[in-house]
Amino acid sequence: MNVIVSQDQIERVIPNEDIEFVRKYREMYGNYPTFRGLQQGKHTVGEVHPNHSKKDLKWKTYVDGLGKLFSLIVMIVSKGKGEELADIKKTGKRLQSLDKKHLFVSKLEAFTYNIFLLENVAQEMELEPKKFLRTCNKIPDFLWENKKLVIEVAGMESEKYINKLEDAKKCFSDLGYNVITLDARKFERANKFIEYYLYVCNIFGFKPKKEVLGSPYKYLGFTQLQRQDLQKYIDDNINKYNELDRKGQYTLNKYVQELHGMNVRQYKNKIGLPRYSTSVSKQKIIDYKKENPTISNQEIADYFGVSKNTIQGATSGMVGRNN
């Protein structure tokens, strides 16, 4: 007998604590969790939801246990907040290519496709081709048939994944395909997107483009809603970095790197905020210099209680005394 189960029925049997985990994750990190992101995380459920019955489980074990229900839970939470991510309903993928033709799970998969798009070779690529599944037990990320080239963006670290990938590479080679494995792990963990871009360009012989080096976040697949969420977190926390716990500092650094391609110190300098909450802003120094052009840099430094080098850096090129 076939039984049809509605989405409302499914929602009723999902434990509320699992829905609450996703909701708390969203509040803590400013974005929704992804299946792969939780698999790669080293934290426990309790760090997000201290009262969860599975609080001692690692994220990977927890999300593996949820399986296909995970995407539905994320969709339920996002719908409840008026931020429904429609693409999660079917695939769990929510990072969008620049041409809006494809969705991806990881930032570096989306970035890789967008690099191919910028180089006008994306149209030659087949994404996640099923033709190798039966013979090689693997669906690669990209197939460049014209060049007989299989491309895999390796973002997972489990021994099982690595072994499966190695077996598949041999199978692809036996079928007459060259294999390029882009090791995304070290870049994605450290949010080194410019370095990853240069790495990919070097492998494929692409000439790096200034627009990507200047703003790599545009090519990571974030939707407008996601960018707004990340920027709000930055705006809410950028001026209290030293007051945040280690997790908060990591998250802030991650979001600044993803959106602006720089660290917190560089970003604060760019927008004219002091590096430390107790220091004086660059704009205040500039304004004071304009009002007092005949005062020496040392006198300005004494006035604000900072070093002379700080004053010289902030007022370089301005009219007035330069010593």
CB atoms within 10 A of CB 7: 11
At 128-166, the pLDDT tens digits run: 888 898 899 888 899 999 999 999 998 776 677 777 888
Q: State which amino acid sits at residue 166.
A: E
At 41-96, the pLDDT tens digits run: 778 999 999 999 999 999 989 998 888 788 888 878 877 766 655 444 444 566 78
Cβ(280)–Cβ(306) below 8 Å: yes
CA distance 259 to 262: 8
Instruction: State whether residue 83 is helix, strand or coil.
Output: coil
Is the predicted pLDDT of residue 4 greater than 50, yes or no? no
**pLDDT at residue number 305:** 64
Mean pLDDT value across residues 92-113: 83
Q: State which amino acid sits at residue 230.
A: L
pTM: 0.53
Write the DSSP string, 94-159. Answer: -EE-TTSS-EESSHHHHHHHHHHHHTT-GGGEEES-GGGHHHHS---SEEEGGGTEEEEEE----H
Please state, in angstroms and as integers, the Cα–Cα distance from residue 30 to each residue in 33, 215, 220, 234, 260, following that order: 10, 21, 17, 9, 16
Which of 246, 144, 146, 154 shows the shortest CA–CA distance to 199?
Answer: 154
At 230-277, the pLDDT tens digits run: 788 888 888 777 777 877 888 888 888 777 777 888 888 877 766 554
Helix axes 16-29, 69-80, angle to 10 degrees: 60
CA distance 72 to 90: 9
**pLDDT at residue number 51:** 94
